[in-house]
Copies of this chain bind each other. A is one copy, B any other.
Amino acid sequence: MKRAEKIFIDYLRENGLKVTKERLMLLDELFNTEEHLDADSLLFRMRSQKRRVSRATVYRTLDLLVQCGLARKMRLGKENYVYEKVVPGRSHHHMICTVTGKIMEFWDSEVDDRLRQLCQEKGFRPTYFSISVYGLSQDADGER
């Protein structure tokens, strides 16, 4: 069994919740994509594989995945929420191209360390940092 699946199942059992095929299918789908997904894209991906779930279940399951730490829920400048799997040791930030919509991930310990230091100076206890850099990716230049 995959690591994430174990975490999810343990979480469900510990909380008196049920392990359903819908929940496992959604977990699987989220972890099989590298991209950031919104609820609708996830729903569409499920349907294109004939793994039928309702939109409500998608939202409810994504919530659970966030609660047990397997997913992250964000807004990246769009109107809707996007979700991404959480992989330990793979924390990262985003560069978002305002022309193509493309999202690049990056991470840098120097930035994170400095932010942590600033928090300490202000007496703020950080849970997590969300950095979104908006601008133009290389491939967008031609399209302007």
Min C-beta distance of A113 to chain B, whole Å: 10
State whether B110 touches A124 (Cβ < 8 A).
no
Contact with B along A86-121 (1 / 0, CB 8 A): 000000000101100000101010110011001100
Q: A106-B118, A108-B114 are in contact. Are A134 and B123 (CB under 8 A)?
A: no
State whether B124 touches A118 (Cβ < 8 A).
no
Give the contacting residue for A128; candidates B75, B106, B134; CB below 8 A: B134
Q: A110-B114, A111-B111, A114-B110 are in contact. Are A119 and B95 (CB under 8 A)?
A: yes
State whether B114 touches A95 (Cβ < 8 A).
no
Residues of chain A touching chain B, judged by Cβ–Cβ distance below 8 Å, are 75, 77, 95, 97-98, 104, 106, 108, 110-111, 114-115, 118-119, 122-138, 141
